[in-house]
């Protein structure tokens, strides 16, 4: 009996070994702060309204040579196309020149007759008016290029050809658009904003733009906002500025606009656990994962803002937060 009692006493003094930590996590300091609140919308790159020019000729004719295609980068003075003026316009110019010559001769004859008292001063005034009218017509036709059988059209500034509406050999009417040129540095992002969010957007707000196929964010600002819905998309068009050469016309883009700032605990997005219960995070306390229930104030791609009873002097579990449970011993590395 004594042996049994002693054996029992000996076994009661042994303690269970501490569990070996299995999960490997990364740690980060927890800090309070503020981060922008972003509104996201989608659109594409396009020339600014004031940054593009449509090239046209005020006479009918034929595109005898086309030197550019959509997307071509051109410098100021570079040849865009060669245009042959329609013969009817040349005839109109020649008629105007003939009318001017006739008016000048008539005016000279009237002036000579006036010296012989065979014409009146009023007739001379009428002759002077006819000459002036004929000169005005000729100058106007010259400025429009009607007197040139062939015209070489050049780029008025450096930029990108965003549209070509004709092909080589096409015959065009007077004033028909031939090509559209966007000034270098005038490419903007136009995004379609949900009308419910439009009241929070103002010209001058910070923005960022990203290509849909990935890549770094491009900084910008809100430079214009429509006051009516786009009839095709039923969204409100918002223009965002872009650095010169950042994107190409017609690229599909995602735009974010900072409409305010949110204050709270700033934590990495991967540290916030939303599965299997209330939103929570884990902190490292005495070598173990300590669960803290939080309210998710703002969710972002990289950073979230939360509120809750976090311990300011305890590290935050980031990578591995989804693999641990409350009170579980963990292994860790600094982040």
pLDDT for 10: 44
Domain shared by 233 and 146, yes or no: no
What are 20-30's pLDDT values in tens digits?
777 899 999 99
Reported as a single tens digit per residue, the pLDDT across 271-290 is: 999 988 899 999 999 999 99
pLDDT at 7: 38
109 and 138: one domain? Answer: yes
User: Which pair of tokens denotes residue 207?
Assistant: 């923005």
User: Is there a single domain that holds both residue 323 and residue 242?
Assistant: no
Residues 327 and 252 in one domain: no
**pLDDT for 329 beyond 90:** yes
At a CB cut-off of 8 Å and minimum separation 6, what does 91 contact? Answer: none
Question: Does residue 210 surpass a pLDDT of 90?
Answer: yes
Give the sign of the dihedral formed by CA 162, CA 167, CA 168, CA 171.
Answer: negative
Residue 15's pLDDT is 55
DSSP category for residue 102: H
Assess if residue 5 is contained within a domain. Answer: no
Q: What is the mean pLDDT of residues 255-268?
A: 94
Residue 19's pLDDT is what?
Answer: 67
User: What's the whole-number average pLDDT of the chain?
Assistant: 88
Q: How far is CA 219 from CA 162, 199, 243, 258, 298, in A?
A: 23, 22, 8, 11, 21
Region 216-225: what's the mean pLDDT?
A: 94
Going by pLDDT thresholds of 50, 70 and 90, the confidence category of residue 132 is very high
Q: Name the domain boundary from 261, 291, 313.
A: 261
Residue 255 has pLDDT above 70, yes or no: yes
Which candidate, 217, 306, 271, 294, places its Cα nearest to that of 35?
A: 306
Cα 169 from Cα 166, distance rounded (Å): 8
Q: What is the structure's pLDDT at 285?
A: 95
**Which of 191 and 111 is assigned the larger pLDDT?**
191
CATH number for the domain spanning 281: value is 2.40.420.20
**For position 192, which CATH number holds?**
2.40.30.170
pLDDT tens for 40-49 read: 999 999 888 7
Average pLDDT over residues 155-164: 90
Q: Is the pLDDT of residue 257 over 90?
A: yes
Provide the number of structural domains found in the chain: 3
> How confident is the model at residue 289, as a pLDDT?
94
Of 244, 261, 278, which closes a domain?
261
Residue 18 lies in a domain: no
pLDDT at 335 over 70: no
Residue 322 lies in a domain: yes
Residue 224, domain extent: 39-50+185-261
Q: Which of 4-8, 56-60, 137-141, 290-294 has the lowest mean pLDDT?
A: 4-8
- pLDDT tier at 141 (50, 70, 90 boundaries)? confident
- Look up the pTM and report it: 0.61
Percent of the chain exceeding pLDDT 90 equals 61
pLDDT at residue 61, rounded to an integer: 92
Cα–Cα distance, 159 to 116 (Å, whole number): 64
> Are 173 and 257 contained in the same domain?
no
**Is residue 17 in a domain?**
no
């Amino acid at each position: 009996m004594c042996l049994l009692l002693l054996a029992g006493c000996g076994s009661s003094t042994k303690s269970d070994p501490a569990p070996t930590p299995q999960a490997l996590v990364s740690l980060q300091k927890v800090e309070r702060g503020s981060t922008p609140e972003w509104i996201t919308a989608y659109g594409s790159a396009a020339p600014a309204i004031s940054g593009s020019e449509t090239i046209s000729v005020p006479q009918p004719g034929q595109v005898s040579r086309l030197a550019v295609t959509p997307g071509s980068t051109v410098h100021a003075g570079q040849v865009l196309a060669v245009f042959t003026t329609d013969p009817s316009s040349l005839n109109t110019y020649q008629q105007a020149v003939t009318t001017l010559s006739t008016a000048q001769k008539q005016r000279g004859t009237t002036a000579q007759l006036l010296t012989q008292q065979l014409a009146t001063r009023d007739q001379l005034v009428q002759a002077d008016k006819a000459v002036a009218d004929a000169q005005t017509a000729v100058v106007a036709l010259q400025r429009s290029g009607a007197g040139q059988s062939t015209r070489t059209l050049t780029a008025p500034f450096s930029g990108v050809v965003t549209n070509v509406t004709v092909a080589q050999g096409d015959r065009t009417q007077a004033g028909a658009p031939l090509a559209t040129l966007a000034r270098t540095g005038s490419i903007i992002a136009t995004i379609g904003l949900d009308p419910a969010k439009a009241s929070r957007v103002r010209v001058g707000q910070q923005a960022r733009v990203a290509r849909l196929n990935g890549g770094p964010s491009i900084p910008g600002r809100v430079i214009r906002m429509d006051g009516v819905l786009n009839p095709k998309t039923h969204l409100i068009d918002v223009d965002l500025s872009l650095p010169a050469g950042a994107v190409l016309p017609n690229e599909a883009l995602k735009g974010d606009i900072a409409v305010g700032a949110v204050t709270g605990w700033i934590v990495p997005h991967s540290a916030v656990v939303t599965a299997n219960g209330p939103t929570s995070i884990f902190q490292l306390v005495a070598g173990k994962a300590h669960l803290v229930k939080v309210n998710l104030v703002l969710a972002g791609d990289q950073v979230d803002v939360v509120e809750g009873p976090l311990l300011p002097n305890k590290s935050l579990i980031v990578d591995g937060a989804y693999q641990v449970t409350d009170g579980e011993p963990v292994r860790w590395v600094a982040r």
